[in-house]
Amino acid sequence: MPDLDENRPFIPVGIAVLTVSDTRTRAEDKSGDVLEARIGEAGHRLEARTIVPDDRARIYEQVKAWTLDAAIDVVITTGGTGFTGRDVTPEALELLFEKRMDGFSAVFHRISYDKIGTSTIQSRATAGVANATFIFVLPGSPGACKDAWDGILKQQLDFRQMPCNFVEIMPRLDEHLKRG
């Protein structure tokens, strides 16, 4: 089973949180609040947080800008992963992905299934890498954000997590750009 290697240092990473919603304000953004709290409790840096409407271009442009910001290592979005006509977050962001992280969706759905049963199939949670930045696309419910953070992201964003974690590979995410 995975374990923490206490001989390794904790390395904080910069994280941006994007809530995708036509109706939520910052005061009503419980999912964003959950993520912000957990990011801080884990010892990471919240570098940015904002809300954009369910609009492909706005979602894409905001996340793309964050992937180009050297202070941001990880972008977490919440909202817009369902099947209604306004749910367009995966379509907006999968265009950015240089590499998809299919395992994230699989593990997220396994964790979610244990809590909400077959209703998990109504989420199109996804993840990938763009511009040497990890991007995680989560459903808009606070419960889904808790499940993703507590069950996956907290461990994978901790350099001490063994046998492997995202932090240790961050310096190599853009190595394909450095080749001749």
Structural domains in the chain? Answer: 11-174 (3.40.980.10)
CA distance 111 to 106: 9
Burial letters for 7-31: b for 16+ Cβ neighbours within 10 Å, e otherwise?
eeeebebbbbbbbbbeebeeeebbb
Per-residue pLDDT for 174 more than 90?
Answer: no
Residue 85 confidence (pLDDT)? 93
- The H or E element spanning position 14 is strand 14-20
For 119, the 3-state DSSP assignment is helix
Per-residue pLDDT for 105 more than 60?
Answer: yes
Residue 78 confidence (pLDDT)? 98
- The H or E element spanning position 102 is helix 102-116
Beta bridge partners of 154: none
Give the burial class of 157: count Cβ atoms within 10 A of its Cβ; 0-12 exposed, 13-18 middle, 19 or more buried: buried
Confidence of residue 49 (pLDDT cuts 50, 70, 90): very high
Contact indicator for 2, 163 with CB cutoff of 8 Å: yes
Provide the mean pLDDT of the chain. 95
